[in-house]
Amino acid sequence: MIHPSAIVSDAAQIGAHVEIGPFCIVEPGVTIGDGTRLVAQVTIKSGVILGSENIICEGAVIGGLPQHTRAPEKIGGVRIGNRNTIREHVTIHRAMHEGHDTIIGDDCLIMVAAHIAHDGSIGNRVILTNGVMLGGHVQVGDRAVLGGNAAVHQFCRIGRLAMVGGCTKVVQDLPPFVLTDGGTALIVGLNRVGLQRAGLSRSEILELKAAYRVIYREGLTFNEMVETLEQRFTQGVAAEFAEFFRSGSRGFIQERRSPPKVALRIHSAVDDLEADVPATTPFRKAA
């Protein structure tokens, strides 16, 4: 069903049972999958492929040109999966180069006024809360959650099942399974609530806690830390830590620390024990 006020190009491919509401614009070269709904005043620009059963709300613009001073004449596209909800005034930009795409997975919730820049890669079941800003080439793993107005620098990675606190400034990679504090933009423990909601077992969470202590509590150098993770956690979810650290190039967000000799109540996302956490120099991956 296409509203009479909508402008839909004859060169767009529209699936079955698609609803295109008032004042929407669908440009040539767009593909819209079955059962997708454009609520009103939505703009879908050339180069966008939308999967099935997506809901795109008022004022969203999907497929805008990359915001770059040297964008080439021929640019890439946007590829969006199935069953996503994209709320009001979200903007998602096309990839910088022909043959590449900005990618959104399945079952994501992208809330009001979030922005996904060119060449971003968003996994499945990701939640971007109001006002989240992702720079170019940012990667967000499955089931990650980014709080309101969080800003992620270009080329950074957010690991799967990570939780980014509201207003966090992310300028380095954030490992999987952890939680950041919006006030300090530092890690405060494991994302226990997210892990439980994702169905991880108690034994898997205990393994993640053990790996977390290797990373942040044993005072190892970066290379020693990664080697220890590879030796102790050869399979399962905890093995993802070493793989993530090995593939990084921007450095990694550190854990929030207390002054020397001060007893720290570890965040409940880690465990419920008291621990003395010495202040150590944060590790940084060697160039």
Task: Look up 118 and say whether it is catalytic.
Answer: yes
| Residue 85 vs residues 37, 123, 129, 176, 217: alpha-carbon distances, Å | 10, 14, 12, 24, 39
Write down the catalytic residue from 119, 141, 148, 173: 119
Task: Look up 136 and say whether it is catalytic.
Answer: yes
Write down the catalytic residue from 118, 120, 123, 173: 118
Task: Look up 194 and say whether it is catalytic.
Answer: no
Gap between the Cα atoms of 128 and 117, Å rounded = 13
Tokens of 284: 């940084």
C-alpha dihedral, 179 to 183 to 186 to 187, nearest 10°:
-20
Gap between the Cα atoms of 103 and 95, Å rounded = 9
Gap between the Cα atoms of 49 and 62, Å rounded = 10
| Residue 4 vs residues 19, 25, 29, 136: alpha-carbon distances, Å | 12, 12, 21, 36
The residues annotated as belonging to the active site are 118-119, 136
